[in-house]
Structure 1
Amino acid sequence: MANFATHVGVAVGVGASLATGLTTLGYIPWDTGLNLLIFFVFGTLLPDIDVDNARPVRWVFNLFALFAALLTFSALTPTPSSGFWFSHPAQPGWPAFIGALAVWLIIRYPLSKLFQKLTRHRGLAHSLIVGLLWSLAWLHFAHWQFSGDSLVFWLQALALLGGFLLHLALDEIYSVDIEGIRIKRSFGSAMKVLDRRFMSGSIAVIILNLIMILALPNPEALLLWLKLF
Structure 2
Amino acid sequence: MEKFKVEQAPPSIYYIPNFITKDEEQYLLHHVNSAPKPKWTQLSNRRLQNWGGLPHPKGMVAEEIPQWLKVYMEKVAALGFFGDKLPNHVLVNEYLAGQGIMPHEDGPLYYPVVSTISLGSHTLLEFYRPLDSSDQSCDDQQQQTSFEDRFLTSILLEPRSLVFVCEDMYKTYLHGISERTVDKISNSIANIEMCEMAQSVEALTRTTRVSLTIRHVPKVLKAKFLFGKK
TM-score range, shorter chain: under 0.3
Give me the TM-score of the superposition, normalised by structure 2. Answer: 0.27
Greater strand proportion: 2
Larger Rg, first or second structure (1 or 2): 1
Greater helix proportion: 1
